């Protein structure tokens, strides 16, 4: 028997603007994501992939359709409920790292725990453990300006996993990195997916980075054009 998907989209549309100026970014998306999957989302600019990721990340809401996460109809939640879901279950990795410039790596990683109201000692210990997992425990007191691009992205990954989220949403995580650093980041994401079973959805334009995923979803003109399944997802039963 097939397990219920972790994420399910049914007939999801998104329209920006009104009247003659209206633009339909999503035209009826149907998509299931299973627990432990590693999904690469691809497509040309303007195809709708970033709009879908914003909806999945509870940063935006669909105009119509259903978004079900762990059995909960997200499209029916209010702003505060969506913020709580985002804080408890989702981690975010951005192309531009989004680190606080005058703040140490450790303090950057602590931020999600601060928002949760965790005690200082718990925040420090948990954040240091996350830095250890990305191999940067010795760089914990360095600011972003003192780190390479690859190191900054590893800090961003540590910040994303520090709350032990169910899902990582990664938007072009290797877009600002050279090939060697990009492969380093992808191997790190692959390890978290394989060892921790974290579900990953990653937007990328690079086929060699998408090759790390189990499933590739291709967008075109606001629709899912194709879903290609490769290697088994983490924890999948053969």
Residue range 178-222, pLDDT digits in tens: 999 999 999 999 999 999 999 999 999 999 999 999 999 999 999
User: Quick check: is 108 in a domain?
Assistant: no
Residue 179: which residues within 8 A CB-CB, separation 6 or more?
none
Q: If pLDDT is split at 50, 70 and 90, which confidence band does 115 have? A: confident
Structure tokens at 226: 């194709």
Residue range 20-42, pLDDT digits in tens: 889 999 999 999 999 999 999 99
Residue range 123-154, pLDDT digits in tens: 999 999 999 999 999 999 999 999 999 999 99
User: Quick check: is 23 in a domain?
Assistant: yes
Number of compact structural domains in the chain: 1
Tally of CA atoms within 13 A in the half-sphere of 80 that contains its CB: 0
**21: CATH:** 3.40.50.300
Any idea what the Cα angle at residue 34 is, between residues 11 and 56, rounded to 5°?
Answer: 50
User: Quick check: is 202 in a domain?
Assistant: yes
pLDDT of residue 238: 43
pLDDT of residue 116: 86
The stretch 159-180 carries a mean pLDDT of 94
Domain hosting 91: range is 7-97+166-229
User: Quick check: is 65 in a domain?
Assistant: yes
pLDDT of residue 234: 54
User: Quick check: is 148 in a domain?
Assistant: no
Alpha-carbon dihedral angle through residues 101, 106, 111, 114, given to the nearest 10 degrees: -140
């Amino acid at each position: 028997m097939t397990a219920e998907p972790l994420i399910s989209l049914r007939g999801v549309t998104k329209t920006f603007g009104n009247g003659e100026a209206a633009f339909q970014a999503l035209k009826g998306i149907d998509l299931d994501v299973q627990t432990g999957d590693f999904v690469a989302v691809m497509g040309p600019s303007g195809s709708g992939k970033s709009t879908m990721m914003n909806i999945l990340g509870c940063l935006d809401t669909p105009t119509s359709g259903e978004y079900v996460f762990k059995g909960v109809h997200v499209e029916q939640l209010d702003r505060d409920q969506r913020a709580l879901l985002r804080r408890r279950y989702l981690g975010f990795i951005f192309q531009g790292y989004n680190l606080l410039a005058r703040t140490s790596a450790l303090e950057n990683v602590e931020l999600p725990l601060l928002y949760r109201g965790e005690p200082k000692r718990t925040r420090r210990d948990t954040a240091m453990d996350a830095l250890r997992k990305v191999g940067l425990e010795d760089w914990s007191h360095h600011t972003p300006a003192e780190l390479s691009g690859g190191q900054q992205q590893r800090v961003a990954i540590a910040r994303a996993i520090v709350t032990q989220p169910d899902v990582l949403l990664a938007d072009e995580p290797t877009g600002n990195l050279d090939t060697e650093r990009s492969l380093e980041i992808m191997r790190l994401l692959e390890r978290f997916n394989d060892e921790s079973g974290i579900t990953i959805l990653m937007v990328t334009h690079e086929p060699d980075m998408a090759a790390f995923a189990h499933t590739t979803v291709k967008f075109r003109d606001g629709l899912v054009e194709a879903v290609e399944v490769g290697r088994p997802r983490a924890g999948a039963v053969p």
